[in-house]
Structure 1
Amino acid sequence: MPSGGQRKHTISNKTRKRPGKDLDQIHEDLKPEKAAKLLQQEVDYDLPGNGQFYCIECERHFIDEKTRQLHRKTKLHKNRVKTLKEVPYTQAEANAAGGSGFFPAVTLKSRVELPKQPEMAVKIGE
């Protein structure tokens, strides 16, 4: 046991302060009709940037478009997009993997193309 001066005073990285959505919930948000609603949200003064600058893949709000564009270039965002390209498993596939029932049509996973978000012309460094 470490002495008083050597204790770890930070919260473990294994737990998040604000738990986010699961990947299957984000897949639902990426459907075109729902994505359009999320990108065109009403003004909410409690959110950063009044809720107008939202990254669907990372489920984060940003102060302005410049900050969101900088976020899209980060490793965190690129890794999240990479994990979202995989198709989520269905309940039928889970049952087939568990050996309950007969599912002859279970196939290998294919890649999903994420919808393109509208790019706004923002010059960084203005």
Structure 2
Amino acid sequence: MPRKTANKVRKRKGKDLDEILEDLKPEKIAKLQNQEIDLDLPGDGQFYCVQCNRYFIDQATQKKHTGTKVHKQRLKALKAPAYTQKDAEAAGGLGTDE
């Protein structure tokens, strides 16, 4: 396998935007931000970015992450309206004439 495509195959994708929007609901976000200590996760699972679905080693690294381009792009993508089944059908020409 050529080098240029090897990383694309191995890259681990995080949660999809619709899954993250579900996690941003008040009852779930409180649970995710106050997790139990898990020694298998970075930073014992205490430093978590809900929007990016990432764990960090410490508070400084998490704070640094909030200023990065990747985090800002994720926030922008989450602000956009969700793509629905109705939109998909309308794009495919199956929508109703309203």
Same-fold call, TM cutoff 0.5? yes
- TM-score, with length taken from structure 1: 0.67
Task: Report what 1:123 is aligned to.
Answer: none
| Distance of aligned partners of 1:22 and 1:9 in 2 relative to their CA distance in 1, 3 Å threshold | closer
CA RMSD of aligned residues (A): 2.1
- Offset at residue 74 of structure 1 (A): 1.1
Please tell me whether the aligned partners of residues 54 and 60 of structure 1 are also in contact (alpha carbons under 8 angstroms).
Answer: yes
Bigger drift between 60-69 and 23-32 goes to: 23-32
Q: Summarize the alignment of residues 103-114 of structure 1 with structure 2, pairs less than 5 Å apart.
A: 104=98
Residue 40 of structure 1, CA deviation: 1.1
Q: Secondary structure at the match of 1:83?
A: helix
TM norm structure 2: 0.83
Q: What amino acid does structure 2 have at the position aligned with 1:64?
A: D
Q: How does 1:8-23 map to 2 (within 5 A)?
A: 8=3, 11-12=6-7, 14-23=8-17
Aligned equivalents of 2:97 and 2:36: distance in 1?
Answer: 44
Count of residues in Structure 1 that have an aligned counterpart in Structure 2: 97
Structure 2 distance, partners of 1:40, 1:66, is 17
Give 5+ residue unaligned stretches, structure 1.
1-6, 105-126
Higher share of residues assigned helix? 2
Listed as ranges, the gaps of 5+ residues in structure 2 are none
**Distance change >3 Å, CA 30–CA 73, structure 1 → 2:** same
Identity %, equivalent residues: 59
